[in-house]
Amino acid sequence: MWERLGQVVERFQAVEAELGKGVEDPVRLRELGREHKYLAPLVSLYEKWQRIEEAWHRAKEELESSRDPDWRQLAAEELARLSEEKQRVEEELKVSLLPPDPDDDKDVILEIRSGTGGDEAALFAGDLARMYQRYCEKRGWKWEISDFTEGNAGGYKELIVQVRGEGVYSWLKYEGGVHRVQRVPQTESQGRIHTSAASVAVLPEPEEIDIELKESDIRKDTYCSSGHGGQSVNTTYSAVRLVHIPTGITVAIQNERSQIKNYETALRILKARLYEIELQKRQAAEDNLRRSLISTGDRSAKIRTYNFPQNRVTDHRIGLTLYNLDQIMQGELQELLEALRLAERTQRLAQMEAQAG
């Protein structure tokens, strides 16, 4: 670990030196900025450990050299405190040395679809959408609906949202999969609990350098927007359907009255779905726990159950149960997401140490 930290410090100094000279290439500048953002807190933590280490050695020398009982007692107490703090910082350093996810700083295409359960599933999809929107508002992230199809009784059959902000994917990436709800539907006269589901896909929005998309591989269709409720909203060909010929992936957008805006939105979503395929290939070589926690492409894996009668939410990937469902549905997701992040990092750290040993 200490050899790796020495390399980190050297690299950080090199990055700062290059940034100090001025970088004109925007791609290179973006790469250096990301690297600096990752290395800076790690170097700061290492410097903190060095200060604690120096204080620890001073306290140890005081304990060994002093003959005053009271002074020796103070030195022993200080040594014990510093030992605990040093161990804690060392554990933080180990976690910080884990390679970062290259997609963590990316914006997100969030797709929510109703599953089994008919109208109740669409209503639940709407509840999930409001939950995520409130969480995004708390984080200061921008929430922009790209397209949607309403359910017959409310909610959404399908909702596509663009979420923009700092570190969006680093937190929302744990939400991909099937979300199950257990509650009494509004239409249930007998008071019986029904089980419904909605699926969530979290796609990091790729940059231009992340994926190559040839115009010749895309078929563009335009048609009149029919409106989300089925009514005709205009007679212009503003709706856009893009088909990626090699994969058959289709994206249709009609939310905007402008064909150009719908085309731009559809193209971003198409790129994100193609990038999702690349992520699946990359994740196939990673550890099993990570693939279970961050199921970017797996939309069939049940990850969480929301039980309204018991005010309970259970994340099945880490066996965590919380009894504050009412708060979670108001966007209080941070405790849940931090537990998932900790579980992922703990497992990755254990694997890294096993490989080193």
Instruction: List, for residues 44-88, the tens digit of each pLDDT value.
Output: 998 999 999 999 999 898 888 888 888 888 989 999 999 999 998
* DSSP E strand stretches across 125-206: 142-150, 156-164, 177-183, 194-204
Nearest 5°: the CA angle 131, 228, 298 is 50
User: Which ranges of the chain have pLDDT less than 70?
Assistant: 187-189, 208-209, 225-236, 283-300, 352, 355-357
Q: Taking the domain 215-281, which CATH number applies?
A: 3.30.160.20
Sign of CA dihedral 156, 158, 162, 165: positive
Instruction: List, for residues 155-205, the tens digit of each pLDDT value.
Output: 999 999 999 999 999 999 999 999 999 998 876 667 788 999 999 999 999
Sign of CA dihedral 164, 287, 338, 124: positive
In angstroms, the CA 236 to CA 254 distance is: 11
Please check whether residue 175 is in contact with residue 304, taking contact to mean a CB–CB distance below 8 angstroms: no
Q: Give the 3-state secondary structure of residue 3.
A: helix
- Residue spans of the domains in the chain: they are 2-96, 108-206+298-356, 215-281
Q: Taking the domain 108-206+298-356, which CATH number applies?
A: 3.30.70.1660
Please check whether residue 36 is in contact with residue 19, taking contact to mean a CB–CB distance below 8 angstroms: yes
Please check whether residue 120 is in contact with residue 195, taking contact to mean a CB–CB distance below 8 angstroms: no
Backbone dihedral angles phi then psi of residue 323, each to the nearest 5 degrees: -110, 50
Question: Among 287, 288, 297, 303, which Cα is nearest to 339's?
Answer: 303
In angstroms, the CA 59 to CA 54 distance is: 9
Are 108-206+298-356 and 215-281 equal in CATH topology? no
Share of the chain above pLDDT 90, in %: 43
